[in-house]
Amino acid sequence: MPPKTLSLALAHLSLDPHFAPLILRLPKPKFTKRDPFEALVSAIIYQQLSGKAAGTIHARFLKLFKNVSHPTPKQIVRVSVEKMRSVGLSGQKISYLKDLSEKFLDGTIQPDQFPTMSDEEIREHLIRVKGIGRWTADMFLMFTLHRPDVLPTGDLGIQKGMQRVYKLKSLPDPARMIKIAKPLRPYATVACWYLWRAIDEDEQDGQW
């Protein structure tokens, strides 16, 4: 995320009484630039696994490809299913990675077009890939493309974060989340970063 955008986001959110204490207490968010294909490969590998297990499989997967830091779509298409299984990938995830790679190669997915596309257009673009749904697309928008105003209403961490920060009796549904987030716009991505950190704090304190 450009420093200017992040500064504007922090200034805007600091005016909100729910976020001002979080911004004072927590470190400034960091958004690291990532290659779109690499980010989507990682997202598929990490789905429904603990961070440690997924990290181990991801590292083994990368070692299948010699003399490169990350495989290209063509390399993933060419590597055998047996080799991919040998590093711990399920048959389902192998099919997802193959499909992702094929769609990058045949032009179904065109990352060079992302800068001119809206958030919703990118979501629709990405869910053409097997194994990529709206939540994965939202994470991609936030942490790979650094779009500043993404609100992943299906994310349990954001639901819990809103419940905690806004002192709600129950987890908010999507409609309530959108209503709550209205004053945070157009910087919902940065607000979500703080909501996740708020939950991290509570888990460390044993409150959840």
Q: Is the dihedral of CA 8, 11, 14, 16 positive or negative?
A: negative
Distance (Å, rounded) from C-alpha 118 to C-alpha 124?
A: 10
The one catalytic residue in 16, 155, 200, 202 is: 155
Q: Is the dihedral of CA 204, 51, 160, 141 positive or negative?
A: positive
Tokens of 188: 């919902």
Helical H segments across 63-118, by residue range? 73-78, 81-86, 91-105
Distance (Å, rounded) from C-alpha 94 to C-alpha 129?
A: 13
Residue 200 annotated to the active site: no
Residues annotated catalytic, as ranges? 155
